[in-house]
Chain A
Amino acid sequence: MADDVRALSAQLAQDPQSLVFLRLAEALRRKGQLDAALRVALNGLERHPHLADAHDLYARVLTDKHDYERAFDEWDMALRIAPNHTGALKGLAFLYFKVGDLQQAETHLELAQRVEPDDPSITQAIEMVRGGASPPSPHPVLAAEPSEAAAAAPALDESRVFAGLEGAQEGLVLLDAAGRVLGGALRSPAGADVTDAVAAYLAGVSQEAARSAKLLGLGAWSGLSAEGKHGNVHVSQPSKDALLLVVRDRGVPLGRLAILAQRATGMAKRWLDKQ
């Protein structure tokens, strides 16, 4: 298996855009090298944010690291991209079982069974849930081994606040109160980097929004959505001194944009907490 990891690492190094990261991260995960698997999965996800398998893989690693909340988000995202993704359905069933929601666990397993009726592991899991026993982890991990491949995995850049999130390098930006960029980047539809210009104009929006909401007796503001002629934006406040801007083309309606923004806000909050 160590040879597999070396060979896959070499392949990925030769062609970073290839999907070989899926096999490499899975191989690392199965060896119990979870930090290395996480780095490979995250880097792959950055390059392939619309790939359901990449979200599924990332969720598996997160589950192994007992980060169930983020794993849930990733499997949820995988299903939004590919509603019949059995890996995500099984993964969510496992998480639902863990929180005691047997009905949801069974429902997700039944959906998976409809897609893959001949998969005996799904049938077995359904029987276990109905019997009140925990279904097996959808993706078991082998015993941990020394991390000889960790160095081969690309390093995770901590400044990538939104690593793995759709549009992280073109439609998301996190600012401090003075309009300085903390993470993410914005590109105009023509491809120009507009991060700093937009950041400068947005500095101060938070205070004005707060004053408007106060004067109108609306309480604390939670979000500002705007529809433009060629795109939509959503501004939120992940912390008192930070602003998050999400920009998408008009094909992404304001409601969906708000969901994306909520997800990005959660990631930004976690990142800010770490700082």
Chain B
Amino acid sequence: MNHTLDLVTRVRGVRGAMIVSADDGLVVAEQLMEGIQGSAVAALEAGLAGRLRRAMEAAGIGASVFWHLQADQGTLLVVPAASGMLVVAVAEPDVNIGLVRLELLRAGEAIA
């Protein structure tokens, strides 16, 4: 799992990454910067991912394959993997989102 996260954290601008169980919001693996409360973030991400998934399914466009939350001082990027896990990255606001997305998708395939 840590090797999988290496794929993500090696991208310039990525502050940390983790794998979260989408069902119960528990951290499965993490490589986060100090000061980030992984367990709390994991629980929130699982909740947000679930809400988003249900909204997208209700809209008829299927479950999400990638989503990202933009904020003033950074961004959160998430790929739901087939295994019921979420691969999550926290990054700088000016990170190359396309590149992180690719690495998250690869990581998602690796843990499927």
Binary interface encoding of chain A residues 168-208 relative to chain B, with 1 for a CB under 8 A from any of its CBs, else 0: 00000000000000000010111010100110011011001
Binary interface encoding of chain B residues 38-60 relative to chain A, with 1 for a CB under 8 A from any of its CBs, else 0: 00110011011001101110111
Chain A's interface size range is 35 or more
A143 in contact (CB, < 8 A)? no
| A203 smallest CB distance to B (angstroms) | 9
Q: In the complex where A202-B51, A219-B72 touch, is A194 in contact with B64 (Cβ < 8 A)?
A: no
B13 in contact (CB, < 8 A)? no
How many residues on chain B are close to A (CB under 8 Å)? 34
B47 adjacent to A217 (CB under 8 Å): no
B61 adjacent to A247 (CB under 8 Å): yes
A225 in contact (CB, < 8 A)? yes
A231 adjacent to B73 (CB under 8 Å): no
A231 adjacent to B68 (CB under 8 Å): no
A208 adjacent to B60 (CB under 8 Å): no
| B17 smallest CB distance to A (angstroms) | 12
A226 adjacent to B59 (CB under 8 Å): no
| Interface SS of B by simple majority | mixed
Return chain B residues, CB-CB under 8 Å to A229.
61-63, 65
Q: In the complex where A212-B44, A212-B69, A231-B62 touch, is A219 in contact with B55 (Cβ < 8 A)?
A: no
Of B59, B60, B65, B69, the contact of A227 (CB 8 Å cutoff): B65
A231 adjacent to B61 (CB under 8 Å): yes
Of B51, B61, B69, the contact of A213 (CB 8 Å cutoff): B69
List which B26-44 residues lie within 8 A (CB) of chain A.
Answer: 35-37, 40-41, 44
| B81 smallest CB distance to A (angstroms) | 14
A209 adjacent to B58 (CB under 8 Å): no
Return chain A residues, CB-CB under 8 Å to B64.
226-228
Q: Chain B residue with minimal CB distance to A173?
A: B59
A218 adjacent to B76 (CB under 8 Å): yes
Q: In the complex where A213-B76, A226-B64, A229-B63 touch, is A221 in contact with B58 (Cβ < 8 A)?
A: no
Of B56, B59, B63, B70, the contact of A222 (CB 8 Å cutoff): B70
**Count, A-B residue pairs, CB within 8 A:** 126
List which A204-245 residues lie within 8 A (CB) of chain B.
Answer: 204-205, 208-209, 211-213, 215-233, 245
B69 adjacent to A209 (CB under 8 Å): yes
A217 adjacent to B68 (CB under 8 Å): no
Q: Could you tell me the distance between the alpha carbons of A194 and B56 in the complex, rounded to whole angstroms? A: 10
Q: Specify which of A186, A194, A202, A228 lies most central, judged by the most chain B CB atoms within 10 Å of its CB.
A: A228
Return chain B residues, CB-CB under 8 Å to A226.
52, 56, 64, 66-68
| A28 smallest CB distance to B (angstroms) | 39
A211 adjacent to B60 (CB under 8 Å): no
| A138 smallest CB distance to B (angstroms) | 37
Q: Could you tell me the distance between the alpha carbons of A147 and B60 in the complex, rounded to whole angstroms? A: 46
Q: Could you tell me the distance between the alpha carbons of A218 and B74 in the complex, rounded to whole angstroms? A: 5
Q: Could you tell me the distance between the alpha carbons of A120 and B58 in the complex, rounded to whole angstroms? A: 55
Of A192, A194, A201, A230, the contact of B62 (CB 8 Å cutoff): A230
A216 adjacent to B90 (CB under 8 Å): yes
Q: Could you tell me the distance between the alpha carbons of A231 and B41 in the complex, rounded to whole angstroms? A: 27
Of A197, A212, A233, the contact of B61 (CB 8 Å cutoff): A233
Q: In the complex where A189-B61, A201-B51, A213-B76 touch, is A225 in contact with B56 (Cβ < 8 A)?
A: no
List residues of chain B with CB under 8 Å of any chain A CB: 35-37, 40-41, 44-45, 47-48, 51-52, 54-56, 58-76, 90
Apart from A190-B60, A208-B48, A228-B62, list 14 A-B contacts with CB within 8 A.
Answer: A194-B59, A194-B60, A209-B48, A209-B69, A212-B41, A215-B37, A216-B90, A218-B76, A220-B72, A221-B70, A224-B69, A225-B67, A228-B64, A229-B61
